[in-house]
Chains A and B, each alone.
Chain A
Amino acid sequence: MSEKILEVKDLQVTFDMYQGSVQAVRGVSWYLNRRETIGIVGESGCGKSVTIKTAIGLNPVKNGSVKGGEVLFEGRDVLKLNEKEIRSILGNRMSMIFQDPFTYLNPTMTVGKQITEVYRQHHKVSQAEADAKAIEILKMISMPNPEENMKRYPHQLSGGMRQRIMIAMALICEPAVLFADEPTTALDVTIQAQIVELMNSLKEQLDTSIVLITHDMGVVAKMVDRVYVMYAGKIVEHGDAETIFHRARHPYTWGLLESVPRLDQKTRDELHSIPGMPPDLIKPPKGCAFAARCRYAMDICTREEPPAIDLDEPEHYSACWLCHKECIARRGVVTREEVQA
C-alpha cells in the first residue's frame, strides 16, 4: 500500500457574489500518493482550480470562503494553518506552476534572481550557493546555457523557456507535491510535448508527486496515474487512468473523451459534443447536475443526487444512477460503446 501524502476530505468552497453565493466546490475528496501523478479533469468553472488553490492554503478568490472539509498534508490540516505557517510550506513543501508563466514572473528581475530568491526564502544559504543550486536545477530541466539564461529577464525568453523557469522555481526546494494548473495549455504543441516529458522525468528524479489540473484528455493520458473527473463542483468519476480511458462509466466522462477527435481515428461526419452548458452554481440543480445534458437521464436523476457508486474494479467510483445495481438490473450495463455508435 502506497503512502498518502496529501488528502482532501469533503472540501466545500463558496464565493459570494452580488447575485448570490456560488457553490464552486460542493464536497470534493481526493488523495495523492507518494510519487504519483493524479489528474483533476473538467471544464472551466467546474471548480478544479478553486479546489487546488484552497488545498495549497491560498484564498481562491476574493469573497471566497471554505465552508467545510479538511486538507491533510504532512499530518496537518492546511486549512487551519496561519499565514506564516502556510508561507513556510508554499514553494518549499508544496509548490505550483500556472498556465501563463508570464503573469507570474516579475518583469523587472532577472529569472536567475527569481529562482534563487525562492530557495533563499526557505534555506539559509549564500547567494553563491543558491546560484549553484539554481544552475543544477536548470540543468536538470535541460535548459540550454543555464548560466547565461539566468541573467535574462522574462520578456527575453520564449514561452517554453518561461514555463521551464516556472518549473525551476517550483522545484528548486524539491517539494513533496507539485500542483500544475493547465501547465501546457498556453504552449505550442511541440513545446507542450517537451514540457510533459520533462515533468514526467522530474517526478522520478526529485521524488515529487504531481497534481495536474487540465481539460486536455491527451495530456492526461500521457502523464497521469489516476484521474478524478470533476463536474459542477463535484467529482463524478474516479479511477486509474487505464480504467477511465477504457472502462469509464459516467456519461460526462464519455462526453469528454468523445468530444476530442483522436488522431488515430478517421474523420467523423459529426463530432460528438455535449449539448448545452454547465449549470449555474448559484442555484445548483436538485438532482444530478449533469442530467440536463445527459442523453441517459432518467426520472430519478432529476430528483435525487446520485451517490458515488463503488464499481467492481479496484478504486473505480462513478456518481451516476446508471451504475446503480437496481438500474443495471433493469436496463443492463450501459457502456461508452453505445455513445460511439
Chain B
Amino acid sequence: MSEKKALLELKNVKTFFKVKGGMLKAVNGVDLTIHEGETVGLVGESGCGKSTLGKTIMRLYKPQEGQVLFDGQDIWQYKRRDVFNYTRQVQMIFQDPYASLDPLSVIGDSAAEGMDIHHLFTDKKQRESEILRLLNQVGLNESHVDRYPHEFSGGQRQRVGIARALAMNPRLIVCDEPISALDVSIQAQVVNLLKKLQRERGMAYLFITHDLSMVRQISDRIAVMYLGNIVEIANSEDIYLHNRHPYTRALLSAIPIADPTVEKQRKRMVLGGDVPSPVNLPKGCSFASRCPYATEACRQSAPALRPMEDGHLVACHRAEELPEEAY
C-alpha cells in the first residue's frame, strides 16, 4: 500500500455549515488518503457527512479548516489555471440519474459537456467520434446520441453520467451513491462497468455509499463514517472479517442476508438510542450514546483514529476489548 503514490490527501478537513442555532459540523476533522488507481469505499448512514466530504473534494464546499492536497498541492491555494486543470482530473458521478442530466440536452451533448468546456476537440468530426467511443465504452450506442434523457431508464442515464466523467480522462472519480437509485440487477451492471473501466484506465475511485454489501465488491479499502468522523478504515476484507469498531459491526449486522435459513440463525446487534445532532456534538465519542460497549471514559474524551495491524485504523477506546466475531 505504502509504495503507491498518494493522489489525494485530506488533512484534518472540517466542513461546517451555518444553521439556526450554530454550526452544523458535517465533516469534522477527516484524514484520508487516496492512492493512485485504488478504490476507497466511504460508508455511512444518511447525515454522516459522506456526501459533504465528496463535495469538499470536488471543490464545491470550502473547508473551514484543514487541507485537501492533490498531487501534494493544496487545492485551495490553486491559481485559476490550476483550478481549471483540477476540474479535468477529478470527476464526479451523481446519485440521482434523473437529476444529473440536463433534461433539455441530448445525451451526446451531456456526455460531451466536459470536453466542450475544456475545448478538448475543436474539430466537429473528432468530437463526434469521441462521443461515440465513450458511449460505446459505457454500453450505449449511436442510436442514443441524439435522444433526450427522459427517454432513458435510470441505469442508462447513469451510464451517460459515467461517460461524461470519463471524457476528461480523470485520475480520480468521486462516485456519490452512484447505484443506490437503481434497481438491483442494474446496480450489478453499473458496478461491473466501473470495475472494467478502472482496469482499462487505472483511475482511482472514491465510492461513497450506504450499501455495505455492494461497496465490498469494488473497494480496496473501506472507510466507515459516523457523524462527520471516520471511525474505522481498513482493507476491504478486514472491515468485514476483522472489524474493530462497534458501529461498523452494527452496520454489518443490520444488513439482511438474502437467505431465510441464514437470517434466522444470525445474531443481531440492534442499535438503540438516537443519532446526536451534528450541531451539538457530545463531548466524548459521538457514537457513545448508541454504543452497547460505551463506558464513562468514552463519554468524556473523543477517541482518535489509531493504527491497529496492517494499515487498519480505528477510533475506539475499547477496540482491543471487543469480542472477536465477524458480524
A and B touch in the complex (CB under 8 A): yes
Report A's interface with B, CB cutoff 8 A: 43-44, 158-159, 188-194, 196-197, 215-222, 241-242, 245-246, 255-257, 259-264, 267-268, 270-275, 277
B45→A267 contact, CB < 8 A? no
Q: Does B73 contact A (CB under 8 A)?
A: no
Looking across the interface, which residue of chain B has its beta carbon closest to that of A242? Answer: B260
Tell me whether chain B's interface is mostly helix, strand or loop, or mixed: helix
Q: How far is the CA of A221 from the CA of B46 in the complex (A)?
A: 24
Whole-angstrom CA separation of A27 from B82 in the bound complex: 61
Binding site for A on B (CB under 8 A): 45-46, 153-156, 183-189, 191-192, 195, 210, 212-214, 216-217, 236-237, 240, 250-263, 268, 270-271, 274-275, 327
Contact among B188, B237, B251 for A190, CB-based, below 8 A: B251
Given A218-B256, A221-B258: A189 touches B155 (CB 8 Å cut-off)? no
Are A277 and B153 in contact, with the CB atoms below 8 A? Answer: yes
Residue pair B256, A216 in contact (C-beta under 8 Å): yes
In the docked arrangement, what's the CA distance between A191 and B250, Å? 11
Asked if residues A193 and B268 are in contact (CB atoms below 8 Å), the reply is: yes
- A–B pairs, 7, beta carbons within 8 Å: A44-B183, A158-B274, A193-B254, A193-B256, A222-B260, A260-B184, A261-B214
B183 and A270 within 8 A (CB): no
In contact, A241 and B260 (Cβ under 8 angstroms): yes
A43, B185: Cβ atoms closer than 8 Å: yes
Residues of chain A within 8 A (CB-CB) of B274 are 158
Residues B155 and A218 in contact, CB atoms below 8 Å apart: no
A274 cross-chain contacts in B, Cβ below 8 A: 185, 188-189
Alpha-carbon distance between A201 and B139 when the two chains are bound, in angstroms: 45
Contact A267 B237 (CB under 8 A): yes
- The answer on a CB contact under 8 Å between B256 and A219 is yes
Task: Please report the C-alpha to C-alpha distance between residue A268 and residue B216 in the assembled complex, in whole angstroms.
Answer: 9
In the complex, are the beta carbons of A245 and B270 less than 8 A apart? Answer: no
CA distance A217 to B259 in the complex (A): 8
Q: How far is the CA of A80 from the CA of B292 in the complex (A)?
A: 54
Contact A263 B212 (CB under 8 A): yes
Contact B257 A43 (CB under 8 A): no
Among candidates B192, B236, B254, B255, residue contacting A271 with C-beta atoms closer than 8 Å: B192
A262→B191 CA distance, assembly (Å):
15
